[in-house]
Protein backbone atom coordinates (compact mmCIF):
# COMPACT_ATOMS: atom_id res chain seq x y z
CA UNK A 1 0.00 0.00 0.00
CA UNK A 2 1.46 3.33 -1.02
CA UNK A 3 1.67 6.12 1.50
CA UNK A 4 0.06 9.43 0.79
CA UNK A 5 3.34 11.16 -0.10
CA UNK A 6 4.39 8.37 -2.44
CA UNK A 7 0.97 8.52 -4.10
CA UNK A 8 1.31 12.28 -4.52
CA UNK A 9 4.82 11.92 -5.94
CA UNK A 10 3.69 9.20 -8.32
CA UNK A 11 0.77 11.36 -9.43
CA UNK A 12 3.09 14.34 -10.01
CA UNK A 13 5.48 12.21 -12.06
CA UNK A 14 2.66 10.80 -14.19
CA UNK A 15 1.17 14.25 -14.78
CA UNK A 16 4.60 15.59 -15.69
CA UNK A 17 5.23 12.75 -18.12
CA UNK A 18 1.80 13.23 -19.69
CA UNK A 19 2.42 16.97 -20.08
CA UNK A 20 5.76 16.27 -21.74
CA UNK A 21 4.21 13.85 -24.22
CA UNK A 22 1.45 16.31 -25.09
CA UNK A 23 3.82 19.28 -25.45
CA UNK A 24 6.27 17.37 -27.66
CA UNK A 25 3.43 16.15 -29.85
CA UNK A 26 2.11 19.68 -30.27
CA UNK A 27 5.50 21.12 -31.26
CA UNK A 28 5.98 18.34 -33.83
CA UNK A 29 2.76 19.38 -35.60
CA UNK A 30 3.92 22.95 -36.29
CA UNK A 31 4.54 23.79 -39.91
CA UNK A 32 8.08 24.88 -40.60
CA UNK A 33 9.30 26.13 -43.96
CA UNK A 34 13.08 26.00 -44.20
CA UNK A 35 15.36 26.02 -47.19
CA UNK A 36 17.85 23.28 -46.52
CA UNK A 37 16.82 19.99 -45.02
CA UNK A 38 19.89 19.38 -42.85
CA UNK A 39 19.71 22.77 -41.15
CA UNK A 40 16.05 22.23 -40.27
CA UNK A 41 16.70 18.80 -38.77
CA UNK A 42 19.65 20.07 -36.71
CA UNK A 43 17.65 23.06 -35.48
CA UNK A 44 14.71 20.83 -34.55
CA UNK A 45 16.98 18.38 -32.72
CA UNK A 46 18.66 21.20 -30.81
CA UNK A 47 15.27 22.68 -29.88
CA UNK A 48 13.94 19.30 -28.77
CA UNK A 49 17.06 18.64 -26.69
CA UNK A 50 16.85 22.07 -25.03
CA UNK A 51 13.14 21.61 -24.24
CA UNK A 52 13.76 18.14 -22.82
CA UNK A 53 16.66 19.32 -20.65
CA UNK A 54 14.60 22.25 -19.37
CA UNK A 55 11.69 19.96 -18.55
CA UNK A 56 13.91 17.44 -16.75
CA UNK A 57 15.58 20.17 -14.70
CA UNK A 58 12.19 21.55 -13.65
CA UNK A 59 10.96 18.05 -12.80
CA UNK A 60 14.12 17.34 -10.80
CA UNK A 61 13.70 20.61 -8.88
CA UNK A 62 10.04 19.81 -8.12
CA UNK A 63 10.84 16.29 -6.90
CA UNK A 64 13.74 17.54 -4.75
CA UNK A 65 11.57 20.27 -3.21
CA UNK A 66 8.82 17.75 -2.46
CA UNK A 67 11.29 15.32 -0.86
CA UNK A 68 12.84 18.09 1.24
CA UNK A 69 9.37 19.17 2.36
CA UNK A 70 8.42 15.59 3.25
CA UNK A 71 11.65 15.13 5.24
CA UNK A 72 10.98 18.32 7.21
CA UNK A 73 7.53 17.04 8.15
CA UNK A 74 8.90 13.69 9.29
CA UNK A 75 9.91 13.53 12.97
CA UNK A 76 13.58 13.01 13.78
CA UNK A 77 14.66 9.52 14.77
CA UNK A 78 14.99 8.92 18.49
CA UNK A 79 18.27 7.60 19.79
CA UNK A 80 18.38 6.02 23.20
CA UNK A 81 21.61 5.20 24.96
CA UNK A 82 21.62 2.60 27.68
CA UNK A 83 23.69 2.74 30.80
CA UNK A 84 23.57 -0.98 31.50
CA UNK A 85 26.93 -2.66 31.80
CA UNK A 86 27.56 -5.65 29.61
CA UNK A 87 29.32 -8.67 31.13
CA UNK A 88 32.95 -8.93 30.12
CA UNK A 89 34.22 -12.07 28.51
CA UNK A 90 37.46 -13.63 29.21
Residue-wise pLDDT for 21-47, tens only, equals: 666 655 555 666 656 666 667 778 888
Q: What pTM did the predictor assign?
A: 0.40
Which helix (H) or strand (E) segment is 1 a member of?
none
Of residues 31 and 71, the one with the higher pLDDT is 71
Of residues 8 and 28, the one with the higher pLDDT is 8
Instruction: For the chain, give the mean pLDDT.
Output: 76
Lowest mean pLDDT among 21-25, 47-51, 69-73: 21-25
Burial 16-40 (b: 16+ CB within 10 A, else e): beeeeeeeeeeeeeeeeeeeeeeee
Amino acid sequence: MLTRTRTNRARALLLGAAAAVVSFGASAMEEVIVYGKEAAVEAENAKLKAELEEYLEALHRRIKEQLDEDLKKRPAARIELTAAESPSRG
